[in-house]
Amino acid sequence: MNVKQPGTHVNPTIAVQVRAKSDVDEDALAYVREKVHAILDRPGVPAVSGEVKITRAVAHHAEQPWSAQAELVVGNTLVVAHAREATAHELADRLQDRLRGQMNRALHRWDEGRRSATPPPWRGGRAVGDDDR
C-alpha cells in the first residue's frame, strides 16, 4: 500500500492533509481536496487541523470501492466523517455533505460556548419578575 503526497492547504489556520491510499488518481484526489477545503475555508471557522484519507478497494466486485475517513480538530472539537461510494466524485460530494453537517454542529456548539450566560438568581443574577427600579 503506497501513500501519495499529502496536500496541505495554504491557509495557516487550516492544516488538513488529504491523503490517498492504494490506487487513487490525481484528478480524484484533487477533486476531494477542492470539496474538503470549500467546507473549511469559510468565515467564522476557527483553526482546523487533521487528516482525510481516501481509499479505493482493490477488489473489482465491490459495489462501493471508494471510501473516505476524515478526522479533523475544529477549534477544540473533534469532527469525524466517513463515506463510501461507487465513484470518486460521488465520494467527494458525500464527504462534503457529511463534513458540512458535522462542521455546522461543531461551530454551533463552539459559538454557543463562547456566549456568556446570565448567572442564576442565587449567584447574583436577575430573578424572573425583577424590574429595574
pLDDT for residue 108 is more than 90 = no
Q: Where are the domains of the chain?
A: 7-114
Q: pLDDT tens digits for 64-98?
A: 899 999 999 988 889 999 999 999 999 999 999 99
Confidence tier at 7 by pLDDT (50, 70, 90): very low
Instruction: Look up residue 62 and give its three cell numbers.
Output: 465491490
Q: pLDDT tens digits for 19-45?
A: 988 788 899 999 999 999 998 888 888
Residue labelled with grid coordinates 491557509: 11
According to DSSP, the residues that pair with 48 across neighbouring strands are 14, 74
pLDDT for residue 10 is more than 90 = no
Distance CA 14, CA 12 (A): 5
Amino acid (1-letter code) at residue 110: W
Distance CA 19, CA 25 (A): 11
Superfamily of domain 7-114: Ribosome hibernation promotion factor-like (3.30.160.100)
